[in-house]
Structure 1
Amino acid sequence: MIVEGSGGQGTCTSTGCVTDLNQRCPTELKVGEGDACKSACEAFGTPEYCCSGSFNTPATCRPSVYSQMFKSACPKSYSYAYDDATSTFTCTGADYTIAFCPSSLTR
């Protein structure tokens, strides 16, 4: 899915992902026969993967090997709770075009 903001002010760049993450999904995160890919938080439910408890700050919740795998496949996508620096964009007053199953990033 790709989301493109246009006609707005701020950081109106394309974001999303064109990679089939189900093909890259580690076995321990797969749903069924690879129909979907869970987050590490959903799969394991532990504080270090869910950024909860003593891991609930940007300093203590760091990207896991799983979030790094997602981030390498989809660099502009939000991959864990504190992934704001490279994955949060503000585009005010924009129109948005959302493309499902795109073949490539357009911007």
Structure 2
Amino acid sequence: MLVVPHGGTGQNCTYTGCVVDLNDSCPSELKVMKREGGDGVACKSACEAFRQPQYCCSGAYGTPDTCKASSYSEVFKRACPRAYSYAYDDKSSTFTCAKADYTITFCPSPNT
């Protein structure tokens, strides 16, 4: 998915998203399978897959100091560096645009 702002203002008013098919690099424990033994059709977050506080940044892990990137969020970050990969990801993945319109493209081509 690619999100492109139009006509907005702000210091960091730029596009964000990911043009990579994450199914190819998705760890097996996060893959959503079409059917038993079939192809992966989606990739869950570690929070969705394991429902553990350290992956969901909840409970004792509910602050930027206690919730750190996991090996799973790093897989997503390497593939999609402009996208947020976990709750307290770095500021390079946060974009703010005042008074913008947006074009949202699902399944953009890698050349987008």
**Residue in structure 2 matched with residue 25 of structure 1 by the alignment:** 26
What SS does the corresponding residue of 2:40 show, helix, strand or coil?
Answer: coil
- Residue by residue over 1:70-93, the C-alpha shift from the partner in whole angstroms, topping out at 9 and shown as x without a partner, is 011001111001115121111011
User: How many Å separate the matches in 1 of 2:61 and 2:47?
Assistant: 12
Contact 1:14 1:105 in 2 (8 A): no
Cα shift at 1:100: 1.9
1:13 and 2:19 equivalent? no
What SS does the corresponding residue of 2:74 show, helix, strand or coil?
Answer: helix
> After the TM superposition, which of the residue ranges 23-32 and 77-86 deviates more from structure 2?
77-86
What SS does the corresponding residue of 1:63 show, helix, strand or coil?
Answer: coil
**One-letter code aligned to 2:65:** A
1:60 and 2:66 equivalent? yes
User: How many Å separate the matches in 2 of 1:83 and 1:47?
Assistant: 16
Q: 1:105 to 1:51 in 2, by over 3 A?
A: farther
**One-letter code aligned to 1:71:** K
User: Which blocks of at least 5 consecutive residues in structure 1 are unaligned?
Assistant: none
**One-letter code aligned to 1:17:** C
**One-letter code aligned to 1:9:** T
**One-letter code aligned to 2:26:** C
**Residue in structure 1 matched with residue 4 of structure 2 by the alignment:** 4
Contact 1:2 1:105 in 2 (8 A): no
**Residue in structure 1 matched with residue 36 of structure 2 by the alignment:** none
Identity of aligned residues (%): 66
Task: Could you list the structure 1 runs, at least 4 aligned residues long, displaced by more than 3 angstroms after superposition.
Answer: none
1:45 and 2:51 equivalent? yes
Cα shift at 1:105: 6.2
Give the TM-score taking structure 2 as reference length.
0.88
User: Which blocks of at least 5 consecutive residues in structure 2 are unaligned?
Assistant: 34-38
Match of 1:89 among 86, 92, 95: 95
What SS does the corresponding residue of 1:9 show, helix, strand or coil?
Answer: coil
**Residue in structure 2 matched with residue 100 of structure 1 by the alignment:** 106
What SS does the corresponding residue of 1:92 show, helix, strand or coil?
Answer: coil
CA-atom RMSD in angstroms: 1.4
